[in-house]
Amino acid sequence: MNYLFCDLDDTLFQSRRKTPDAAGVTIAAHGPDGLPNAFMTAGQRKAFDAMFGAMTLIPVTARDRDAYARVQLPRAPFAVIDHGGIILDAAGQPLPAWYERSAEHARQAQPWLEDLHREATQFLGEEGLSVTSRIIGDFDLPFYWLSKYREGHEQHLDRMERELIIPWVERRPHQAWIHRNGNNLAVLPRTLQKRHAVSFLLELLRQDDPTLVSWGMGDSLSDLPFIMECDYMIAPRRSQIATLVSEHAA
Ligand SMILES: [Mg+2]
């Protein structure tokens, strides 16, 4: 069997703002309000159909259960959601063994996630920045801290990243790591990474299929560790990963 471990947002599809206005654009996901909010170009749709005709898709996404449920995808045997915090089975239920592991790690991370949220909220108030601060959880577990800028205030998020978040994480190198891509600034426990869940699933799948071939596909630098668990890598041409590679391939 060939398995494609595949990131979703900005890999298979993207928001309306990032989708070129051209013929053949199709809907890929809906927002909580029921309106379409993610789209595939005709080229993405062709690539999608070719890959999923040849491989078994395993989505690997930061989306939570509800946001994942709003994506239009073929049925998958497993899905890695919440940045790796939860692995869903084919029926959409969390794998108990993985959930137990995540629950233990979430309990350990909760106090410092709450500290960070408090410090960020105070910083935003004092500096008057138009940026959100939230702890993101799912299935009753707190997973990570997330911040986004409001309409047009990207520099506010850049400033908080530089002045508060980077120094904060540098003081806790064994505990936390940063994911930043566009309007997502997240601080996650080291134990919460897509890579850990993909590695767990590969081991599980190899029990039945020792010669399986795995493909990893994603756009963000933070996808690289899980992609490197796989036999082959695929990345969109316009992505953090492609930019990194082009710097070395000139
Ligand atoms: Mg992505």
Mean pLDDT per block of 10 residues along the chain (250 residues) reads: 97 93 94 96 95 95 96 95 97 97 97 97 96 97 96 95 97 94 93 97 97 97 96 95 90
pTM above 0.75?
Answer: yes
Question: How far does residue 126's CA lie from ligand 1's centre (Å)?
Answer: 32
Domain boundaries, the chain: 2-85+193-249, 106-189
Question: How far does residue 11's CA lie from ligand 1's centre (Å)?
Answer: 5
* CA separation, residue 161 to residues 105, 146, 166, 187, 237 (Å): 24, 11, 6, 10, 26
Q: What is the pLDDT of residue 181?
A: 84
Q: What is the pLDDT of residue 58?
A: 98
**Euclidean distance between CA atoms 42 and 30, whole angstroms:** 18
Question: How far does residue 8's CA lie from ligand 1's centre (Å)?
Answer: 6
84 in the Ramachandran plot: left (φ > 0), alpha (ψ -120 to 50) or beta?
A: left
Question: How far does residue 44's CA lie from ligand 1's centre (Å)?
Answer: 14
Class of domain 2-85+193-249: alpha beta
* CATH no. of 106-189: 3.30.1360
Q: What is the pLDDT of residue 202?
A: 98
**Euclidean distance between CA atoms 170 and 92, whole angstroms:** 37
* CA separation, residue 231 to residues 56, 183, 243 (Å): 15, 30, 21
Neighbours of ion ligand 1 (CB under 5 A): 7, 9-11, 219-220
Phi/psi of residue 220, each to 5°? Answer: -90, 155
139 in the Ramachandran plot: left (φ > 0), alpha (ψ -120 to 50) or beta?
A: left
Q: What is the pLDDT of residue 182?
A: 86
